[in-house]
């Protein structure tokens, strides 16, 4: 895996992990009974975005290491999908 591929893969995994982490611990203004005039009642009271970015980075690092190990060790080549697509034929 090249450096560019590794960085792009990490960014993709990071954004995917962010969407996984964002909903955790969110309390809306409506649930807390603290709706401010002119704001959306579903808006979070305390978004804790920096904490979620830190958690996202940790989760993404773990998933990225797994992806890296799969790519470097060619783990996907260990599985044969001949039962699904039929045997490979030489050109």
Question: What Cα–Cα distance (Å) separates residue 85 from each residue in 74, 78, 80, 90?
Answer: 20, 16, 10, 14
Query: H helices within the chain, ranges in order?
Result: 3-21, 29-32, 49-72, 82-85
Residue 40 lies in a domain: yes
The total domain count for the chain is 1
Residue 60 lies in a domain: yes
Q: Round to whole Å and give the CA distance between 37 and 29.
A: 11
pTM exceeds 0.75 for this model = no
Confidence of residue 83 (pLDDT cuts 50, 70, 90): low
CA dihedral 37, 38, 44, 46 (to 10 degrees): -60
Confidence of residue 46 (pLDDT cuts 50, 70, 90): confident
Q: Is the pLDDT of residue 9 over 70?
A: yes
Residue 91 lies in a domain: no
Confidence of residue 60 (pLDDT cuts 50, 70, 90): very high
* Mean pLDDT across 59-65: 95
Q: Which domain holds residue 47?
A: 3-85
Confidence of residue 81 (pLDDT cuts 50, 70, 90): low
The angle formed by the CA atoms of residues 4, 1 and 19, to the nearest 5 degrees, is 65
Residue 49 lies in a domain: yes
Residue 38 lies in a domain: yes
């Amino acid at each position: 895996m090249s450096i560019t591929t590794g960085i792009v893969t990490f960014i993709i995994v990071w954004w995917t992990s962010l969407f996984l982490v964002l909903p955790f611990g969110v309390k809306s203004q409506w649930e807390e009974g603290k709706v401010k005039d002119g704001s959306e009642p579903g808006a979070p009271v305390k978004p804790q975005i920096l904490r979620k970015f830190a958690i996202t980075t940790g989760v993404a690092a773990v998933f990225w290491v797994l992806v890296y190990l799969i790519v470097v060790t060619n783990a996907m080549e260990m599985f044969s999908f001949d039962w699904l697509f039929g045997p490979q034929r030489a050109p």
